[in-house]
């Protein structure tokens, strides 16, 4: 099976869209990610998967902390920006949760501390403990399906 077939098959699983963030010194860095899952309620754990080529990887290794923002459907621009799909530089104003930068008005803004790290093929999995969560309710989520953005109107 080739890489394209695998990617196409995985793309038939619809996901939400998140922006992962961290802060190294005074520099904030963000990247779009849909490889995210809730893992455990007690303790409250979640998992993200970061490509070995992403500059985010070394940054989370350095800080051992990250922010995770679950995007609403009106936040497509943030997703495209933090996936490097927009040409223009943009000055982003972040919210802050427990010392971690997060995306303003995201459906959920979560500050995490890395509990465990697993290298898995060409990605690294970070198991994060949720230190603090802020919910901003009342919007539909941004959806990613078969390589395209969708909206789930509730
Ligand atoms: P860069 O490519 O350098 O940064 C990403 C973009 O964010 C750049 O445009 C940069 O200018 C901008 N940026 C970063 N920080 C700031 C800041 N402080 N202020 C303003 N702009 C800033 N990759 C994975 O590894 N795992 C996934 O789960 C995953 N899921 C994805 C889901 C979707 C829907 C999409 C579209 C992409 C996904 N990617 C995923 C790919 C990933 O988002 C891109 O490869 C991304 O460019 C990798 O980011 P980077 O850390 O290498 O940094």
pLDDT confidence of residue 124: 98
Matching CATH number, 3-148, of 3.20.20.140, 3.40.50.620, 2.30.110.10, 3.40.50.2300: 2.30.110.10
The pLDDT value given to residue 138: 67
Query: 51 and 7 in contact (C-beta within 8 Å)?
Result: no
Instruction: Determine if residue 59 is left, alpha or beta; phi over 0 gives left, psi from -120 to 50 gives alpha, anything else beta.
Output: alpha
Structure tokens at 96: 């802050």
Distance of CA 2 to the CA centre of its chain: 26
Q: What is the Rg, in whole angstroms, of the alpha carbon atoms belonging to the chain?
A: 15
CA 147 to ligand 1 center in whole angstroms: 15
Whether residue 84 has its Cβ less than 6 Å from ligand 1: yes
Q: Is the pLDDT of residue 139 over 80?
A: no
Tell me how far the alpha carbon of residue 42 lies from the centroid of ligand 1, in angstroms: 30
Over 70: is that where the pLDDT of 37 sits?
yes
For the chain, what percent of residues have pLDDT higher than 70?
Answer: 98
Ligand 1 probe mutation, 82, 86, 96, most atoms within 8 A of CB: 82
Q: How far apart are the first and last CA of the chain?
A: 37
- pLDDT (mean) for 67-72: 98
Please give the Cα distance from 37 to 126 (Å, whole number).
Answer: 11
**pLDDT value of residue 137:** 80
């Amino acid at each position: 099976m080739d890489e394209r077939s695998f990617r196409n098959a995985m793309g038939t699983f619809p996901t939400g869209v998140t922006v992962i963030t961290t802060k190294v010194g005074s520099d904030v860095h963000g990247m779009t990610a849909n490889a995210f899952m809730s893992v455990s309620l007690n303790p409250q754990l979640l998992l993200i998967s970061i490509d070995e080529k992403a500059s985010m990887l070394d940054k989370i290794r350095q800080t051992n902390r990250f922010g995770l923002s679950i995007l609403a459907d009106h936040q497509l621009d943030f997703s495209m920006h933090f996936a490097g799909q927009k040409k223009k530089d943009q000055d982003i104003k972040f919210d802050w949760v427990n010392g971690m930068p997060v995306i303003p008005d995201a459906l959920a803004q979560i500050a995490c501390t890395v509990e465990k790290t697993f290298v898995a093929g060409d990605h690294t999995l970070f198991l994060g403990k949720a230190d603090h969560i802020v919910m901003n309710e009342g919007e539909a989520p941004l959806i990613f399906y078969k390589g395209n953005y969708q909206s789930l109107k509730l």
